[in-house]
Structure 1
Amino acid sequence: MISQLSLALVVLDSELKVRYANPAAEAFFEQSLNQLQGHELRKLFLQSSIETQRLVNALRDRDSFSDSEVQVIFADGRHSLADITVSSIEHQGQPMLLLEIKKIDHLRRISQENQLWAQQQAARELVRGLAHEIKNPLGGLRGAAQLLEKQLEDAELREFTGLIIEQADRLRNLVDRLLGPNKPPSFQWHNLHKVLEKIRTLLSLDEIADVQLVRDYDPSIPELWIDEEKIQQAVLNIARNAVQVLEGKGVIRFVTRIERQVTIHGKRYPLCAQIKIIDNGPGIPERLKDTLFYPMVTGKQDGTGLGLSIAQNLIDHHRGKIEVESWPGHTEFTIYLPIDKKEPSL
């Protein structure tokens, strides 16, 4: 009966070594029971948000506890999100711990995606409304400064009107970026890897010092119905953020794969192309994770916070989505683009 459970069960002894794991736990760790037995739990993870000391305390005090949304990173680079319940048990007079592990990656991802999508849409509409309200009087302000400049004979005073015009132009450019692309997409069939190779070339022309650009492509991905320029801009925005975060030293990997049965904003697609931009930088600060794609949100001192917001908008035009996973030493942006057999009706 236990072997049929979808809930992963792991029994730990007093040294926190694995003594038993059911088939669901074997699937979770991607190791057989023979491989798991005798190994310390902490050595099976590269990183986990559940502390070893809590397990030690539960064992000592014969206590139990639960922890939700525990991020687990395995030694092979896989990562998973799980709800974990730890219970104190006794076997043959020896205190042990029973771990119940329930993977929640898929359910949380769908729930979080729907919530973030609604929040981002609301934030985008708010920003667009504010941008239009700013842009209208800004034009009048600039025009008035130009007229005033023509009436002034004093060069020193004209310097002030020139400053007004210059700052009005700067604000107008910022507002234009907030409003997003004003040119409708031009869709055609394109080879995704040719687009990514252009991005690698553009990045290599930048001052990237000792940053390595590594590619891992799936040649089976067919041509996609995309706007080449807009996809290039979206990926470039993400990749340039990675370059800046690495501060001249590190690795950025471009990975492409085919993903099956992907849900994007409530609609299910049989096949999607997956583009991963992975860096080994310090990771995204926890305080920014929930608002990362909002306009004007940035972790950089001199950043505008528009790069990821614009990337999200460009991918939305392609019926796609962007997901992000991050922890110290690993940040992974994943772009999903539907694979069509014929020209879709957008």
Structure 2
Amino acid sequence: MTTSSLNPFFIKALESISSKILIADKDLKVIYLNKSAEDFLNTTLEESENQETSKIFTEKPKNDLELKELFENKGHLKRHITTLFLKNNLKKKASFLANFFETEKREKYIIFEFFNADKSALEAKRERRFKGDVITNAFSKVLAHEIKNPLSGIKGSAQLLLNKIEDPDSEEFLNIILRETNRITKIIDQISKKNFQLNQKFLNIHSVLEKIPAFVNSLDRSNISVERDYDPSIPLINADDNLLTQVFYNLARNSIEAIESAKKGTKLIIRTRIIYETFINKTFHKSACLIEINDNGPGIPEDLIDSIFFPLVSTKKITSGLGLAISRGIITQHNGEIDCVSDKKGTTFSIILPIEERSDLLKEEINA
């Protein structure tokens, strides 16, 4: 199918809108793009027609396999702030949505819609995040104070009893109480001060992510599948294995609980990519590791999406408790960012962690 065979009214309508639209056939060859998409992708319809989409725009690594899967599952693919590589070595920060479409004649297509990485929107989002962090910090300190007061009473009483009794079994139980109250106090201090003790080492991020399927199985959720889409070119990153595992468990648990409560959704998709020339917390990095945990559940209400990382946020579709607030603290301490996008088709949690330049060298040394 070519542009000439498309309905003239259809073409005229697409040319009149500001949305950036590209249509590809089942072989991922371009059959049409409107004027807005031409300007955005630095090409023309004449140059692009019958060319593979990867010749017009691509990501690193290439996304051809993901796009071809859309024809099989009749689904959609969403990218939130990615780097598009265009002709003439141009690069552009953008988001895009790829939707499967089938005509009455059973002709199959993918319709791409591209979005600018709006700087003002990003700044507004950072401002909301900053305000949210202020609220979270204040709440965490009050919560820590309220919990530590009774803990101090428990600890003091246990110490007094320990000095008065002579029964070895009772002493053992009291020592357990003292040890556990100290441990809880330490955890509360870490949460309230966002000062998690990092035991960092260079690691393969996929070895950490591979714990998620076993975790899902341990929750006895046989109806939920876990799919992997890994970028094998990601070098080692400097991180705390145990704390990142806690973050990934929190995100997976939230997705599963949302799916179960709404009785909608059947899978989690774990995806990794390298992104280039990006800012993390206003600091420029040549490269970073992007980790996405996506579900096809009910989504998060729009009026709550900016507050889900606050402590004790809870709705019928998400019950984060302290999990997401703690997760943000852990990722922030790794000099990374965590974000969330959601609609009625599902939710995607995105984590960006910096890749230290020397980690490439370390990977080469280990593989040598």
Bin of the TM-score, shorter chain as denominator length: 0.5 to 0.7
Does structure 2 conserve the Cα–Cα contact (< 8 Å) formed by 1:80 and 1:103? no
Partner of residue 32 from structure 2, selected from 35, 43, 55? 35
CA distance 1:137–1:323, shift in 2 (3 Å): closer
The amino acid across from 1:291 in the alignment is: S
Does structure 1 conserve the Cα–Cα contact (< 8 Å) formed by 2:311 and 2:325? yes
The amino acid across from 1:126 in the alignment is: A
Deviations 1:4-62 (A, max 9, x none): xxxxxxxx99x7x3316569968x2234896368xxxxxxxxxxxxxxxxxxxxxxxxx
Partner of residue 246 from structure 1, selected from 259, 273, 282? 259
Deviations 1:67-119 (A, max 9, x none): xxxxxxx974336899xxxxxxxxxxxxxxxxxx9944332452134213311
Matched, 1:269 2:299: no
CA distance 1:124–1:232, shift in 2 (3 Å): same
Partners of 2:248 and 2:350 in 1: CA distance:
10
Match of 1:295 in 2: 311
Deviations 1:305-331 (A, max 9, x none): 211111111110111111211111221
SS in 2 for 1:319: coil
Partner of residue 190 from structure 1, selected from 198, 203, 210? 203
- Taking the TM superposition and a 5 Å limit, the aligned residue runs for 1:303-322 are 303=319, 305-322=321-338
Partners of 1:199 and 1:80 in 2: CA distance:
23
TM-score of the aligned structures, taking structure 2 as reference length: 0.59
**CA positional deviation for 1:332:** 0.9
Deviates more, 1:197-206 or 1:325-334: 197-206
SS in 2 for 1:210: coil
The amino acid across from 2:327 in the alignment is: A
Match of 1:77 in 2: 77
Structure 1 residue runs without a partner (length 5+): 1-11, 38-73, 83-100, 151-164
Partners of 2:307 and 2:192 in 1: CA distance:
18
The amino acid across from 1:77 in the alignment is: L
Does structure 2 conserve the Cα–Cα contact (< 8 Å) formed by 1:225 and 1:340? yes
CA distance 1:80–1:337, shift in 2 (3 Å): closer
CA distance 1:209–1:75, shift in 2 (3 Å): closer
The amino acid across from 2:248 in the alignment is: V
Match of 1:119 in 2: 131
- Taking the TM superposition and a 5 Å limit, the aligned residue runs for 1:47-196 are 76-78=76-78, 103-142=115-154, 178-179=191-192, 183-196=196-209
Deviates more, 1:293-302 or 1:271-280: 293-302
The amino acid across from 2:21 in the alignment is: F
Does structure 1 conserve the Cα–Cα contact (< 8 Å) formed by 2:257 and 2:318? no
SS in 2 for 1:258: strand
Does structure 2 conserve the Cα–Cα contact (< 8 Å) formed by 1:261 and 1:271? yes
Partners of 1:132 and 1:205 in 2: CA distance:
31
Does structure 2 conserve the Cα–Cα contact (< 8 Å) formed by 1:278 and 1:330? yes
Partner of residue 339 from structure 2, selected from 311, 315, 323? 323
CA distance 1:240–1:180, shift in 2 (3 Å): farther
Match of 2:11 in 1: 18
CA distance 1:25–1:77, shift in 2 (3 Å): farther
Does structure 2 conserve the Cα–Cα contact (< 8 Å) formed by 1:264 and 1:321? yes
SS in 2 for 1:134: helix
Match of 2:244 in 1: 231
The amino acid across from 1:318 in the alignment is: H
Deviations 1:150-176 (A, max 9, x none): 9xxxxxxxxxxxxxx9xxx8xx78956
CA distance 1:269–1:175, shift in 2 (3 Å): same
Partners of 1:301 and 1:194 in 2: CA distance:
30
Does structure 2 conserve the Cα–Cα contact (< 8 Å) formed by 1:180 and 1:310? no
CA distance 1:284–1:180, shift in 2 (3 Å): farther
TM-score of the aligned structures, taking structure 1 as reference length: 0.62
Partners of 2:272 and 2:266 in 1: CA distance:
20
Partners of 2:232 and 2:16 in 1: CA distance:
34
Q: Which runs of 4+ in 1 moved over 3 A?
A: 20-26, 31-34, 78-82, 101-106, 139-150, 172-178, 180-183, 300-304
SS in 2 for 1:186: coil
SS in 1 for 2:77: coil
CA distance 1:262–1:147, shift in 2 (3 Å): closer
Question: Which structure would you say has the larger Rg?
Answer: 1
The amino acid across from 2:216 in the alignment is: L
Report % sequence identity. Answer: 25
**CA positional deviation for 1:144:** 8.1
Does structure 2 conserve the Cα–Cα contact (< 8 Å) formed by 1:127 and 1:178? no
Structure 2 residue runs without a partner (length 5+): 1-6, 25-29, 35-73, 82-93, 95-112, 163-176, 360-368
